Amino acid sequence: MSTASSGAKALNDWSAAQYLKFEDERTLPARDLLARVPLTSPKRVVDLGCGPANSTAVIESRYPDAELVGIDSSPDMIRKAKATLPHLDFTVEDLTSYSPSGEVDLFYSNAVFQWLKKEERFEIVKKLMASQPSGGVFALQVPDNLAEPSHVLMRETATSGPWAEKLASVGRDTFQTPQEIYDQLIPVSSQVNIFHTSYYHALENHAAIIEWVKGTGLRPFLDPLQPEEKEGFLKEYLKRLQQAYPVCADSRVLLRYPHAFLVDRVDLKEDHYKNDE
């Protein structure tokens, strides 16, 4: 789920333990993405940004006979992945420089490409598609949540406190629109399927929202801060969350979490790629 490149700063490592506090919820989009992949028996599958291997396990359960490898830029995630599925091959790789050895029938990516710079994302996708056979599939999903209160308030908190100068350049690029994705990929694809799903996660309280986003989107905001600044930031952020998210009848809080999905079928015609050179 991680890559060493983000829109504002390099994220060299992530916490597998923090990420896995909500393992079941985080794995839902991974399952839904794989369910839409039309391949029945791919020979070689690469999990791009495999994280702690929760997505890799989903892939293995569907394609037990495939050669399956996982890459991630986070050493902690790769350590956890190797401990979870020791019989598989996991390596630390930066997606911006990764190049596969040999053909890959399925590239699968669970919540990674949102961290790349906007102009890099689909150049990398097209470069990787060029290593796939005709009929291969490139499947990815990303959170589409920058307009959600959880993330709007994150940015508002960053700009309204004594830490504002430190956090002035923090954030991630917006993701491409469905038409932008389609227009970039259709020249080298036989089919481009794009869909969107919103999940509603019933979390214990408002503090649980913070624990959720600490594993992903909140981290770039907290990393530059000193301990006392982090405490002040989180206190202010929690106050804003409490105002934005109503409490449910059972005292829980519903966190709406939209995701965008892409399942692309490769149409590898040599002249398509030559024309891009």
Which pLDDT value is given to residue 217? Answer: 85
* Residue of 65, 185, 47 lying closest to 107 (CA atoms): 47
**Which spans in 167-251 are helix H?**
178-185, 206-214, 219-222, 227-244
Q: What is the pLDDT of residues 152-174, one digit of tens each?
A: 999 999 999 999 999 999 988 99
Terminal Cα-to-Cα distance of the chain (whole angstroms) = 30
Q: Rounded to whole angstroms, how far apart are CA atoms 129 and 136?
A: 8
Which pLDDT value is given to residue 9? Answer: 36
CB 171 within 8 Å of CB 115: no
Handedness of CA 11, 16, 18, 21 (dihedral sign): positive
Q: Rounded to whole angstroms, how far apart are CA atoms 241 and 86?
A: 40
CATH H-level superfamily of 16-276: Vaccinia Virus protein VP39 (3.40.50.150)
Which pLDDT value is given to residue 180? Answer: 97
Which pLDDT value is given to residue 268? Answer: 59
Which pLDDT value is given to residue 4? Answer: 41
The pTM of this model reads 0.87
Which pLDDT value is given to residue 273? Answer: 40
CB 194 within 8 Å of CB 261: yes
Which pLDDT value is given to residue 13? Answer: 52
Which pLDDT value is given to residue 98? Answer: 96
Q: Could you say which residues of the chain have pLDDT below 50?
A: 3-11, 14, 16-21, 270-277
